[in-house]
């Protein structure tokens, strides 16, 4: 059974997917001295026995690749996926230095819309991970302007990828990094986004990452997951009719993809929602909050 985990790492993002095939995927990194040992130990356990482990960077901002050097030292990243970029920073952290080393190495594979990669989305002897990149279009003038902005030391938020995972016959999940509203509004007619069951809201659910209504209508998510943005920065106004899980209250979020069902578990013992079905599940160390039936 595939498992998706969203770690509660403060104002940042870090995920893994334990695929039903021989694949294991880590998406982004936000480690600090207080959480790194526990997170890395869990990733070691969950990836044990998998033939292919990959790290996907949505974009090189500190809250998405902080502590990457610890993760690389512990795991030895051999499949590093990112957009081709020359992002620079005035103050380079150890995590960013490692990001630069990996993006320029023979371990790097560059992501763009529709890219094909063995085991990522093309089956081989280890199966397919079911991962597809929907953005960027690397020849888009607005995207290229954001690449230059990042190369000049500006924010890399808008060089974020849009990544979609789909389980055959089951759930689909989408990540959008830290894409910002004005940029999304500029490119909204450049791509059509497919119906997706679970959407991790861009920019941690901040107002600055509010999605264009056109994209929300296309994605038509059954569940929105809001990150751990400060409450004063959060988008509480748009999409009031959409069911949401708030990670700043739920803590770690685990999703077990069981055919046409998604069983949701959180680390907070008191968090609950009223829109999921109660199928009486339980999992040691977690609070079962319900099941999404597709």
In tens, the pLDDT along 21-35 reads: 999 999 999 999 999
Tokens at 104, concatenated: 């320029």
In tens, the pLDDT along 201-213 reads: 999 888 889 999 9
User: Which pLDDT score is estimated for 268?
Assistant: 98
Q: What is the CATH number of the domain that holds 84?
A: 3.60.15.10
pLDDT reading at 20 higher than 90: yes
Q: By residue range, what is the domain housing residue 219?
A: 3-293
Alpha carbon distance 1, 148 (integer Å): 41
The mean pLDDT of 174-197, rounded to a whole number, is 98
User: Which pLDDT score is estimated for 147?
Assistant: 98
Instruction: Give the model's confidence band at 271: pLDDT under 50 very low, under 70 low, under 90 confident, else very high.
Output: very high
User: Which pLDDT score is estimated for 237?
Assistant: 58
User: Which pLDDT score is estimated for 167?
Assistant: 93
Name the residue among 198, 169, 197, 217 with its Cα closest to residue 15: 198
In tens, the pLDDT along 86-102 reads: 999 999 999 999 999 99
In tens, the pLDDT along 50-108 reads: 999 999 999 999 999 999 999 999 999 999 999 999 999 999 999 999 999 999 999 99
Q: How many domains does the chain have?
A: 1
Name the residue among 72, 71, 65 with its Cα closest to residue 95: 65
Taking the alpha carbons of 179, 180, 181, 184 in that order, is the dihedral positive or negative?
negative
The mean pLDDT of 159-186, rounded to a whole number, is 97
pLDDT reading at 181 higher than 70: yes
Instruction: Give the model's confidence band at 241: pLDDT under 50 very low, under 70 low, under 90 confident, else very high.
Output: confident
pLDDT reading at 233 higher than 90: no
Name the residue among 70, 140, 121, 65 with its Cα closest to residue 96: 65
In tens, the pLDDT along 251-260 reads: 999 999 999 9
In tens, the pLDDT along 214-231 reads: 999 999 999 999 988 765
Q: What is the DSSP string of 39-107?
A: HHHHHHHHHTT-SEEEEE-S---HHHHETHHHHHHHH----EEE-------SS--HHHHHHHHHHTSTT
Taking the alpha carbons of 255, 156, 120, 48 in that order, is the dihedral positive or negative?
negative
Is the pTM higher than 0.85? yes
In tens, the pLDDT along 99-158 reads: 999 999 999 999 999 999 999 999 888 999 999 999 999 999 999 999 999 999 999 999
């Amino acid at each position: 059974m595939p498992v998706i985990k969203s770690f509660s790492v403060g104002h940042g993002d870090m995920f893994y997917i334990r695929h039903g095939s021989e694949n294991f995927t880590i998406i982004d990194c936000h480690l600090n001295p207080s959480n790194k040992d526990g997170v890395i130990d869990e990733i070691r356990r969950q990836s044990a026995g998998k033939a292919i482990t990959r790290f996907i960077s949505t974009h090189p901002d500190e809250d998405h690749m902080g502590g990457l050097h610890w993760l690389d030292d512990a795991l030895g990243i051999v499949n590093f996926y990112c957009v081709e970029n020359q992002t620079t920073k005035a103050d380079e952290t150890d995590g960013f230095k490692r990001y630069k080393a990996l993006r320029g190495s023979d371990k790097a594979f560059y992501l763009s819309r529709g890219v094909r990669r063995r085991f990522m989305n093309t089956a081989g002897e280890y199966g397919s991970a079911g991962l597809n990149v929907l953005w960027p279009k690397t020849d888009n003038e607005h995207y290229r302007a954001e690449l230059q902005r990042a190369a000049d030391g500006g924010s890399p938020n808008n060089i974020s990828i849009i990544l979609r995972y789909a389980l055959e016959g089951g759930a689909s999940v989408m990540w959008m990094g830290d894409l910002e509203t004005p940029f999304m509004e500029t490119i909204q007619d450049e791509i059509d986004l497919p119906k997706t069951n679970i959407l991790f809201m861009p920019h941690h659910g901040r107002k600055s990452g509010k999605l264009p209504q056109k994209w929300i209508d296309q994605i038509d998510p059954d569940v929105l997951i809001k990150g751990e943005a400060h409450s004063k920065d959060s988008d509480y106004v748009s999409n009031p009719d959409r069911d949401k899980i708030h990670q700043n209250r739920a803590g770690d979020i685990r999703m077990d993809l069981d055919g046409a069902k998604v069983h949701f578990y959180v680390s907070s013992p008191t968090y609950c929602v009223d829109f999921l079905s109660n199928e009486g599940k339980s999992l040691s160390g977690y609070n079962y909050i319900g099941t999404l039936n597709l």
